[in-house]
Structure 1
């Protein structure tokens, strides 16, 4: 999945959680925490891969051996500061990133590429990229098509929710 799509999925998952648990749309800071959590695996792994430190672009940040403990630590720290929702939002974002990297491999039958889930215990081969999903009317449908649909749906939801997080970003940055 392309990195920006993970941000959208993190928001969608957190929005679903807030509607289910609280009956309301997401609020600003927790929505941002979900997006930051969703960004973390790529912010960690991609630069380390580009610098030649990691053998692949899905390693530390994409491993459940990293994601679960970090989610717990962030949640505990947030809870101690009476900011439980920030910790929950971050964990939802981070874990949604790892979880949404799985289906493309399952659909394409590239099960060996799931090694990132328990890296470094399991081997992670180089990621082979966009996966073909089939043909519709003579046109090849790939994972990029589905990712495009997810982005449009997620941005539409965020807009409909009142663009949570935008005001908070503007309050911190001089824009």
Structure 2
């Protein structure tokens, strides 16, 4: 009984919203595809949900077709988030200018601009996103957006070699 009372007092003394919210953390999804013209595309999205209710989204896009390639074309956005039971609301407030880690000489400026416009529109066309959380564990989060599209994120764990 004494232990239960101590636990209850501790739980009541915590500020509202500070109880371990499993949505806080860095989440990722990686997709691989090949377009009709045989371009191999890898997209990696990292969604960072911080305890102070700010968020950051990083989208990395790599393309390869024959000798043409773009490595890690990067799009970043920041904003705020709020969760109420199973509803997760993301609000994008700022989008940074994209940049690429490496681009082959055979890629034209017009191609880069067109590609950047496609991915930037994903962030600018719906700056307010209302999602329903259908699964949330310490390692996986699945959400369904307003259009009914389901996205399954896994907890992002950077490579130990990159942390040095």
TM-score higher than 0.5: no
Answer with 1 or 2: which has the greater Rg.
2
Bigger relative CO (Cα 8 Å, ≥ 6 apart): 1
Which structure has more strand as a fraction of its residues?
Answer: 2
The structure carrying a bigger helix percent of its residues is 1
